Amino acid sequence: MHPRAGTLALPEDLVDIDALIAAYHDREPDLADPGQRVVFGTSGHRGSAFDTAFNEAHIVAMTAAIVEYRRAQGTDGPLFIGRDTHGLSEPAQRTAIEVLVAAGVQVHVDARDSYTPTPAVSLAILRHNGAGTVAGVRTHGPGLADGIVVTPSHNPPTDGGFKYNPPHGGPAGSDATGPIADRANEILAAGWRAVPRIPYERAITSELVRRHDYLSSYVDDLANMIDFDAIRTAGVRIGADPLGGAAVDYWGAIGERYGLDLTVVNPAADPRWPFMTLDWDGKIRMDCSSPYAMAGLVARMTTSGGPAPYDVATGNDADSDRHGIVTPDAGLMNPNHYLAVMIAYLYGGARPGWPAGAAIGKTLVSSGLIDRVGAKLGRHVIEVPVGFKWFVPGLIDGSIGFGGEESAGASFLRTDGTVWTTDKDGPIACLLASEIIATTGRSPSEHHRDLVAELGESWYARVDAPATREQKATLGALSPEQVAATSLAGDPITARLTAAPGNGAAIGGLKVTTDRAWFAARPSGTEDVYKIYAESFVSAEHLAQVQDEAKQVVDAALA
List residues with catalytic annotation: 153
Q: Taking the CA atoms of the chain, what radius of gyration do you get in angstroms? A: 23
Burial of 348 by CB count in 10 Å (0-12 exposed, 13-18 middle, 19+ buried)? middle
At position 167, the amino acid (one-letter code) is: P
Strand partners, 361: 382, 403
Cα distance between residue 83 and residue 114, in whole Å: 8
Residues in the chain: 559
CB atoms within 10 A of CB 506: 12
Taking residue 558's Cβ as centre, other Cβ atoms within 10 Å add up to 18
DSSP 8-state symbol, 71: H
* Among 363, 309, 359, 408, residue whose Cα is nearest residue 522: 363
Nearest 5°: the CA angle 26, 31, 34 is 110
Q: How many CB atoms lie within 10 A of CB 432?
A: 25
How much helix, strand and coil, in percent to the nearest 5, is found in the chain?
40, 20, 40
For residue 44, what is the DSSP state?
B
Please give the Cα distance from 303 to 347 (Å, whole number).
Answer: 34
Which alpha helices (H) appear in 131-227, and where do they start and end?
174-191, 200-203, 214-221
Return the number of other C-beta atoms located less than 10 Å from residue 131's C-beta.
24
Sheet with strand 495-499: strands edge to edge: 459-466, 529-536, 517-523, 506-513, 495-499
Q: What is the dihedral of CA 67, 68, 69, 74, to 10 degrees?
A: 90
